Amino acid sequence: MTEAGTARPLDRDAQFYVAGHRGLVGGAIWRALEDSGYTSLVGRTSAELDLRDRGAVFDFMGEARPQYVVLAAAKVGGILANNTYPVDFLSENLRIQTNVMDAALECGTERLLFLGSSCIYPKLAPQPIREDSLLTGHLEPTNDAYAIAKIAGILGVQSVRRQYGLPWISAMPTNLYGPGDNFSPIGSHVLPALIRRYDEAKAAGDPSVTNWGSGAPRREFLHVDDMAAACLYLLEHYDGPEQVNVGTGRDATIKEIAQLVAEVVGYEGETLWDTSKPDGTPQKLLDVSKLREIGWEAQIGLRDGLESTVAWYREHVGRLRETG
Protein backbone atom coordinates (compact mmCIF):
# COMPACT_ATOMS: atom_id res chain seq x y z
CA MET A 1 0.00 0.00 0.00
CA THR A 2 1.92 3.06 -1.23
CA GLU A 3 -0.83 5.62 -1.72
CA ALA A 4 -3.80 6.41 0.50
CA GLY A 5 -5.84 3.41 1.51
CA THR A 6 -8.60 2.49 3.93
CA ALA A 7 -7.56 2.09 7.55
CA ARG A 8 -9.20 -0.54 9.71
CA PRO A 9 -9.92 -1.04 13.43
CA LEU A 10 -6.99 -1.99 15.63
CA ASP A 11 -6.80 -5.17 17.70
CA ARG A 12 -7.29 -4.11 21.34
CA ASP A 13 -5.29 -7.12 22.55
CA ALA A 14 -2.24 -6.65 20.30
CA GLN A 15 1.13 -5.44 21.60
CA PHE A 16 1.12 -1.62 21.45
CA TYR A 17 4.34 0.28 22.13
CA VAL A 18 4.17 3.98 23.04
CA ALA A 19 7.65 5.50 22.70
CA GLY A 20 7.80 8.40 25.13
CA HIS A 21 4.90 7.21 27.31
CA ARG A 22 6.01 9.37 30.25
CA GLY A 23 6.04 12.59 28.24
CA LEU A 24 3.24 15.09 27.68
CA VAL A 25 1.90 13.52 24.48
CA GLY A 26 2.88 9.92 25.11
CA GLY A 27 1.32 10.00 28.57
CA ALA A 28 -1.95 11.29 27.18
CA ILE A 29 -1.93 8.64 24.44
CA TRP A 30 -1.25 5.94 27.04
CA ARG A 31 -4.26 7.12 29.10
CA ALA A 32 -6.46 7.23 26.00
CA LEU A 33 -5.41 3.70 24.98
CA GLU A 34 -6.20 2.38 28.46
CA ASP A 35 -9.59 4.10 28.39
CA SER A 36 -10.26 2.57 24.95
CA GLY A 37 -9.67 -0.98 26.16
CA TYR A 38 -6.17 -1.76 24.92
CA THR A 39 -4.82 -4.58 27.09
CA SER A 40 -1.17 -5.03 26.03
CA LEU A 41 0.48 -1.63 26.30
CA VAL A 42 4.28 -1.50 26.35
CA GLY A 43 6.36 1.43 27.58
CA ARG A 44 9.90 2.06 28.77
CA THR A 45 11.24 5.10 30.60
CA SER A 46 14.37 6.81 29.28
CA ALA A 47 16.27 5.27 32.22
CA GLU A 48 15.11 1.79 31.17
CA LEU A 49 15.68 2.29 27.43
CA ASP A 50 17.80 4.98 25.79
CA LEU A 51 16.22 5.40 22.37
CA ARG A 52 19.44 7.01 21.11
CA ASP A 53 21.15 3.62 21.62
CA ARG A 54 20.51 1.70 18.40
CA GLY A 55 21.50 -1.70 19.74
CA ALA A 56 19.33 -1.33 22.83
CA VAL A 57 16.33 -0.26 20.73
CA PHE A 58 16.69 -3.23 18.38
CA ASP A 59 17.02 -5.64 21.32
CA PHE A 60 13.91 -4.22 22.99
CA MET A 61 11.80 -4.19 19.83
CA GLY A 62 12.94 -7.69 18.94
CA GLU A 63 11.63 -8.93 22.29
CA ALA A 64 8.43 -6.85 22.45
CA ARG A 65 7.53 -7.23 18.75
CA PRO A 66 4.76 -4.59 18.91
CA GLN A 67 2.07 -4.75 16.27
CA TYR A 68 1.42 -1.03 16.72
CA VAL A 69 3.77 1.85 17.61
CA VAL A 70 3.20 5.50 18.42
CA LEU A 71 6.48 7.40 18.18
CA ALA A 72 5.93 10.26 20.63
CA ALA A 73 9.46 10.27 22.09
CA ALA A 74 11.54 13.32 21.27
CA LYS A 75 13.92 15.87 22.69
CA VAL A 76 11.69 18.93 22.94
CA GLY A 77 11.92 22.46 24.30
CA GLY A 78 10.86 26.05 23.88
CA ILE A 79 12.41 28.84 21.82
CA LEU A 80 15.31 29.35 24.25
CA ALA A 81 16.32 25.69 24.38
CA ASN A 82 15.93 25.18 20.61
CA ASN A 83 17.98 28.27 19.81
CA THR A 84 20.71 27.44 22.35
CA TYR A 85 21.22 23.71 21.65
CA PRO A 86 20.57 23.08 17.92
CA VAL A 87 23.13 20.24 17.73
CA ASP A 88 21.36 18.35 20.51
CA PHE A 89 17.90 18.82 19.01
CA LEU A 90 19.02 17.69 15.55
CA SER A 91 21.24 14.77 16.54
CA GLU A 92 19.12 13.28 19.32
CA ASN A 93 15.82 13.44 17.45
CA LEU A 94 17.30 11.96 14.28
CA ARG A 95 18.73 9.06 16.28
CA ILE A 96 15.52 8.42 18.22
CA GLN A 97 13.36 8.41 15.10
CA THR A 98 15.68 6.35 12.93
CA ASN A 99 16.32 3.75 15.62
CA VAL A 100 12.64 3.24 16.45
CA MET A 101 11.49 3.17 12.81
CA ASP A 102 14.25 0.83 11.65
CA ALA A 103 13.65 -1.53 14.56
CA ALA A 104 9.87 -1.42 14.01
CA LEU A 105 10.42 -2.28 10.37
CA GLU A 106 12.68 -5.21 11.25
CA CYS A 107 10.29 -6.69 13.80
CA GLY A 108 7.24 -6.36 11.54
CA THR A 109 5.28 -3.52 13.13
CA GLU A 110 2.08 -3.18 11.13
CA ARG A 111 0.96 0.33 12.07
CA LEU A 112 3.18 3.21 13.20
CA LEU A 113 2.15 6.78 13.94
CA PHE A 114 4.94 9.36 13.92
CA LEU A 115 4.32 12.60 15.78
CA GLY A 116 5.98 15.73 14.50
CA SER A 117 5.47 19.43 15.16
CA SER A 118 3.96 22.41 13.39
CA CYS A 119 7.43 23.99 13.28
CA ILE A 120 8.12 21.82 10.21
CA TYR A 121 6.35 24.46 8.11
CA PRO A 122 8.02 27.57 6.65
CA LYS A 123 8.21 30.63 8.91
CA LEU A 124 6.18 32.71 6.48
CA ALA A 125 3.83 30.01 5.20
CA PRO A 126 0.36 31.26 4.16
CA GLN A 127 -2.05 31.12 7.11
CA PRO A 128 -3.72 28.87 8.04
CA ILE A 129 -0.97 26.41 7.14
CA ARG A 130 -1.94 23.56 4.84
CA GLU A 131 -0.15 20.23 4.74
CA ASP A 132 1.17 20.96 1.25
CA SER A 133 3.12 23.98 2.58
CA LEU A 134 5.86 21.58 3.69
CA LEU A 135 9.26 22.39 2.11
CA THR A 136 7.97 25.50 0.31
CA GLY A 137 10.04 28.11 2.19
CA HIS A 138 12.59 28.95 4.88
CA LEU A 139 12.12 27.63 8.41
CA GLU A 140 12.02 29.72 11.58
CA PRO A 141 15.76 29.98 12.41
CA THR A 142 15.33 29.63 16.19
CA ASN A 143 14.13 26.01 15.85
CA ASP A 144 15.25 24.93 12.38
CA ALA A 145 17.36 22.03 13.68
CA TYR A 146 14.39 20.48 15.48
CA ALA A 147 12.18 21.11 12.45
CA ILE A 148 14.61 19.40 10.07
CA ALA A 149 14.69 16.34 12.32
CA LYS A 150 10.89 16.16 12.29
CA ILE A 151 10.77 16.60 8.52
CA ALA A 152 13.18 13.67 8.26
CA GLY A 153 10.74 11.63 10.35
CA ILE A 154 7.90 12.37 7.93
CA LEU A 155 10.07 11.28 5.03
CA GLY A 156 10.98 8.16 6.97
CA VAL A 157 7.29 7.22 7.20
CA GLN A 158 6.70 8.01 3.53
CA SER A 159 9.74 5.95 2.54
CA VAL A 160 8.47 2.91 4.44
CA ARG A 161 5.13 3.24 2.65
CA ARG A 162 6.85 3.45 -0.74
CA GLN A 163 9.37 0.68 -0.22
CA TYR A 164 7.47 -1.77 1.98
CA GLY A 165 3.81 -0.86 1.52
CA LEU A 166 3.10 -0.57 5.25
CA PRO A 167 0.28 1.73 6.39
CA TRP A 168 2.45 4.01 8.55
CA ILE A 169 1.27 7.59 9.05
CA SER A 170 2.38 10.98 10.45
CA ALA A 171 0.49 13.59 12.46
CA MET A 172 1.61 17.18 13.02
CA PRO A 173 0.18 18.72 16.20
CA THR A 174 -0.04 22.42 16.87
CA ASN A 175 1.21 23.79 20.21
CA LEU A 176 0.18 21.35 22.94
CA TYR A 177 -0.46 21.82 26.64
CA GLY A 178 -2.03 19.96 29.54
CA PRO A 179 -1.29 17.58 32.43
CA GLY A 180 2.30 16.32 32.38
CA ASP A 181 3.71 19.36 30.56
CA ASN A 182 7.25 20.64 31.10
CA PHE A 183 7.08 23.68 33.38
CA SER A 184 10.85 24.16 33.79
CA PRO A 185 12.18 27.73 33.40
CA ILE A 186 14.60 26.70 30.62
CA GLY A 187 12.91 23.86 28.75
CA SER A 188 9.24 24.84 28.76
CA HIS A 189 7.09 26.06 25.88
CA VAL A 190 5.15 29.30 26.05
CA LEU A 191 1.93 28.18 27.76
CA PRO A 192 3.42 26.24 30.69
CA ALA A 193 6.02 29.00 31.04
CA LEU A 194 3.22 31.56 31.36
CA ILE A 195 1.32 29.41 33.87
CA ARG A 196 4.38 29.04 36.09
CA ARG A 197 5.37 32.72 35.77
CA TYR A 198 1.94 34.07 36.69
CA ASP A 199 1.33 31.52 39.44
CA GLU A 200 4.68 32.29 41.08
CA ALA A 201 4.04 36.03 40.74
CA LYS A 202 0.63 35.60 42.41
CA ALA A 203 2.16 33.60 45.29
CA ALA A 204 4.95 36.16 45.76
CA GLY A 205 2.67 39.19 45.47
CA ASP A 206 4.77 40.61 42.62
CA PRO A 207 3.33 43.84 41.16
CA SER A 208 4.25 42.91 37.58
CA VAL A 209 5.18 40.03 35.27
CA THR A 210 7.51 40.47 32.29
CA ASN A 211 7.05 38.26 29.21
CA TRP A 212 9.32 37.83 26.21
CA GLY A 213 8.68 39.73 22.97
CA SER A 214 5.87 42.04 21.98
CA GLY A 215 2.93 39.72 22.60
CA ALA A 216 1.81 40.25 19.00
CA PRO A 217 2.49 36.78 17.50
CA ARG A 218 -0.53 34.55 17.18
CA ARG A 219 -0.57 30.98 18.43
CA GLU A 220 -2.94 28.02 18.39
CA PHE A 221 -3.13 25.66 21.38
CA LEU A 222 -4.52 22.13 21.58
CA HIS A 223 -5.14 20.24 24.81
CA VAL A 224 -3.04 17.09 24.92
CA ASP A 225 -6.07 14.89 25.65
CA ASP A 226 -7.58 16.12 22.39
CA MET A 227 -4.31 15.30 20.65
CA ALA A 228 -4.39 11.77 22.06
CA ALA A 229 -7.97 11.28 20.90
CA ALA A 230 -7.00 12.48 17.42
CA CYS A 231 -4.08 10.03 17.28
CA LEU A 232 -6.27 7.05 18.10
CA TYR A 233 -8.83 8.22 15.57
CA LEU A 234 -6.22 8.61 12.82
CA LEU A 235 -4.77 5.16 13.47
CA GLU A 236 -8.17 3.62 12.73
CA HIS A 237 -9.49 6.02 10.09
CA TYR A 238 -6.55 7.37 8.07
CA ASP A 239 -4.07 5.67 5.79
CA GLY A 240 -2.16 8.09 3.56
CA PRO A 241 1.40 9.29 2.90
CA GLU A 242 0.79 12.96 3.70
CA GLN A 243 1.14 14.19 7.28
CA VAL A 244 -2.13 15.30 8.93
CA ASN A 245 -2.34 18.60 10.81
CA VAL A 246 -3.91 18.28 14.26
CA GLY A 247 -5.20 21.44 15.91
CA THR A 248 -8.25 23.51 16.74
CA GLY A 249 -8.25 25.79 13.70
CA ARG A 250 -8.38 28.85 16.03
CA ASP A 251 -5.62 31.08 17.39
CA ALA A 252 -5.06 34.17 19.57
CA THR A 253 -2.23 36.62 20.24
CA ILE A 254 0.32 35.76 22.92
CA LYS A 255 -0.88 38.90 24.71
CA GLU A 256 -4.47 37.60 24.75
CA ILE A 257 -3.31 34.17 25.90
CA ALA A 258 -1.19 35.70 28.68
CA GLN A 259 -4.22 37.68 29.86
CA LEU A 260 -6.32 34.50 29.93
CA VAL A 261 -3.61 32.66 31.91
CA ALA A 262 -3.46 35.54 34.40
CA GLU A 263 -7.23 35.38 34.83
CA VAL A 264 -7.28 31.61 35.34
CA VAL A 265 -4.37 31.78 37.80
CA GLY A 266 -5.92 34.74 39.61
CA TYR A 267 -3.04 37.16 39.10
CA GLU A 268 -4.12 40.81 39.27
CA GLY A 269 -0.81 42.63 38.71
CA GLU A 270 0.55 44.31 35.57
CA THR A 271 1.94 42.50 32.53
CA LEU A 272 5.04 44.00 30.84
CA TRP A 273 6.64 42.97 27.55
CA ASP A 274 10.40 42.80 26.88
CA THR A 275 10.60 43.68 23.19
CA SER A 276 14.37 43.11 23.15
CA LYS A 277 13.60 39.38 23.21
CA PRO A 278 12.62 37.50 20.01
CA ASP A 279 9.00 36.96 19.00
CA GLY A 280 9.59 33.89 16.88
CA THR A 281 7.19 33.05 14.06
CA PRO A 282 4.55 35.81 13.65
CA GLN A 283 1.68 33.36 13.23
CA LYS A 284 1.37 29.59 13.28
CA LEU A 285 -2.20 28.47 12.71
CA LEU A 286 -2.81 25.06 11.18
CA ASP A 287 -5.38 24.37 8.52
CA VAL A 288 -7.26 21.38 9.93
CA SER A 289 -9.63 20.88 7.00
CA LYS A 290 -8.10 17.50 6.21
CA LEU A 291 -8.58 16.27 9.78
CA ARG A 292 -12.19 17.41 9.77
CA GLU A 293 -12.79 15.63 6.47
CA ILE A 294 -11.42 12.44 8.05
CA GLY A 295 -14.04 12.97 10.77
CA TRP A 296 -12.39 14.44 13.89
CA GLU A 297 -12.55 17.83 15.67
CA ALA A 298 -11.11 19.17 18.94
CA GLN A 299 -13.49 19.18 21.91
CA ILE A 300 -11.69 20.97 24.78
CA GLY A 301 -11.91 24.78 24.87
CA LEU A 302 -8.85 26.84 25.85
CA ARG A 303 -10.24 28.24 29.11
CA ASP A 304 -11.47 24.82 30.28
CA GLY A 305 -8.16 23.27 29.31
CA LEU A 306 -6.19 25.98 31.10
CA GLU A 307 -8.21 25.58 34.29
CA SER A 308 -7.50 21.84 34.45
CA THR A 309 -3.83 22.36 33.57
CA VAL A 310 -3.35 25.02 36.26
CA ALA A 311 -4.99 22.68 38.78
CA TRP A 312 -2.62 19.87 37.75
CA TYR A 313 0.40 22.20 37.95
CA ARG A 314 -0.48 23.34 41.47
CA GLU A 315 -1.01 19.75 42.60
CA HIS A 316 2.39 18.66 41.25
CA VAL A 317 4.46 21.85 41.62
CA GLY A 318 6.78 20.37 44.23
CA ARG A 319 7.61 17.37 42.03
CA LEU A 320 8.15 19.01 38.64
CA ARG A 321 11.35 18.63 36.66
CA GLU A 322 13.55 21.72 36.63
CA THR A 323 15.44 21.10 33.41
CA GLY A 324 14.76 21.00 29.68
pLDDT, tens digit, 9 for 90 and up, residues 87-121: 999 999 999 999 999 999 999 999 999 999 999 99
CB atoms within 10 A of CB 323: 10
CATH topology of domain 16-180+221-248+284-300: Rossmann fold (3.40.50)
Mean pLDDT along residues 205-232 = 96
Model pLDDT, residue 278: 84
pLDDT digits (tens, 9 = 90+) for 132-155: 999 999 998 988 999 999 999 999
Residue 205 half-sphere exposure toward CB, CA atoms < 13 A = 0
Q: Which of 17, 38, 85, 146 is catalytic?
A: 146
Is 308 annotated to bind a ligand? Reply is no
Does 191 show up as a binding residue in the annotation? no
What single-letter DSSP state applies at residue 11?
A: -
| Per-residue pLDDT at 6 | 67
Check whether 319 has a pLDDT greater than 80: no
Share the mean pLDDT of the chain: 93
Q: What is the pLDDT of residue 166?
A: 97
Q: pLDDT band at residue 1, thresholds of 50, 70 and 90?
A: very low
Rounded to whole angstroms, how far apart are CA atoms 262 and 35? Answer: 33
d(CA 307, CA 272): 23
What was the pLDDT predicted at 282? 82
Does 160 belong to an annotated binding site?
A: no
Residue 183 carries which DSSP code? Answer: -
- Residue 5: predicted pLDDT: 67
Tell me if residue 146 is catalytic: yes
Q: How many CB atoms lie within 10 A of CB 141?
A: 14
Residue pLDDT, tens place only, 252-269: 999 999 999 999 999 999
The confidence score (pLDDT) of residue 232 equals 97
